[in-house]
Amino acid sequence: MLELKDVHTYYGNIHALKGLSLTVNDGEIVTLIGSNGAGKTTTLRTVQGLIRPRSGSIKLGGEELTKLPAHMITARGVSQSPEGRLIFPRMTVMENLEMGAFSRNDKGSIQADLDRVFTTFPRLKERVKQKGGTLSGGEQQMLAIGRALMAHPRVLLLDEPSMGLSPILVESIFDTIKQLHNAGTTILLVEQNARMALQVASRGYVLQTGHIILSDTAENLRQNEMVQHVYLGIT
């Protein structure tokens, strides 16, 4: 479904992604784990077209994306719930969700996706007229994911969905990720909570200073001594 091959991304003279290659197959949850500054968010921003790679290939279903602007990549089927949520605080819940569908041409199908979002996140339906900025942190995360789902993505990019949430809400968000996966959504998950990420993912990549240093099944990564020591806190 999604393939990155030898991708090099820069911020000015800073070489952020150094020949990154990864794949996400149809229907998979693939997680990308690594420390702060490893390049995880840069990877998602590059896929989404918010940063243009200097070289390399990014394909969705075999179609090259690297020359397309961000809004056309979204229209092709890549949607992101960004780090920090970045909802529109002065817009209502409904207006935020409608913005997620802004690039769609299949207006007749939007209601079905709205119903899906409200089924997945009943709390949002209860707060449909409430301003996004007045929601709790967990509700804002639900809204960010819901807004991304309104684009009807072929691949959903999730960037740190558990950031800043209480342990109970973290469990709830990861339960939702599993539900989305069971419903057939393909997900590329960036998450500092490597323990939770490796529980829901089928495969994973370990990113370090712009390089993939390890890739394996999630089960094998959980058993890997380096991953246990560095990312799972097991000594």
Instruction: For residue 20, give the CATH number of its domain.
Output: 3.40.50.300
**In whole angstroms, what is the distance from residue 75 CA to residue 48 CA?**
11
Residue 108 has pLDDT above 80, yes or no: no
Q: Is residue 35 part of a domain?
A: yes
Residue 164 is predicted with a pLDDT of 82
Q: What is the mean pLDDT of residues 205-227?
A: 94
List the alpha helices (DSSP H) in the chain: 40-48, 70-76, 93-100, 110-120, 122-126, 137-149, 167-182, 194-200, 218-223, 225-230
Residue 190 is predicted with a pLDDT of 95
Q: Tokens 């690039």 identify what position? A: 103
**pTM, rounded to two decimals:** 0.91
End-to-end CA distance of the chain: 37
Instruction: Looking at the structure, tell me whether residues 124 and 145 fall in a common domain.
Output: yes
Q: What is the mean pLDDT of residues 209-224?
A: 95
Instruction: Looking at the structure, tell me whether residues 67 and 183 fall in a common domain.
Output: yes
Instruction: Looking at the structure, tell me whether residues 62 and 166 fall in a common domain.
Output: yes
Residue 220 is predicted with a pLDDT of 96
Instruction: Looking at the structure, tell me whether residues 125 and 113 fall in a common domain.
Output: yes
Domain of 128, in residue numbers: 91-152
Query: Residues with Cβ < 8 Å from 120, sequence gap 6 or more?
Result: 146, 149, 176, 179, 180
Count of the separate structural domains present in the chain:
2
Q: What is the mean pLDDT of residues 213-232?
A: 93
* Listed residues 124, 152, 180: the one ending a domain: 152
Residue 102 is predicted with a pLDDT of 86
* Listed residues 104, 121, 152: the one ending a domain: 152
Instruction: Looking at the structure, tell me whether residues 158 and 226 fall in a common domain.
Output: yes
Q: Is residue 64 part of a domain?
A: yes
Residue 166 is predicted with a pLDDT of 86
Q: What is the mean pLDDT of residues 224-235?
A: 87
Residue 55 is predicted with a pLDDT of 96
Instruction: Looking at the structure, tell me whether residues 72 and 105 fall in a common domain.
Output: no
Residue 7 sits at φ, ψ, to 5 deg, of -85, 130
Contact (Cβ atoms closer than 8 angstroms) between residue 47 and residue 89: no
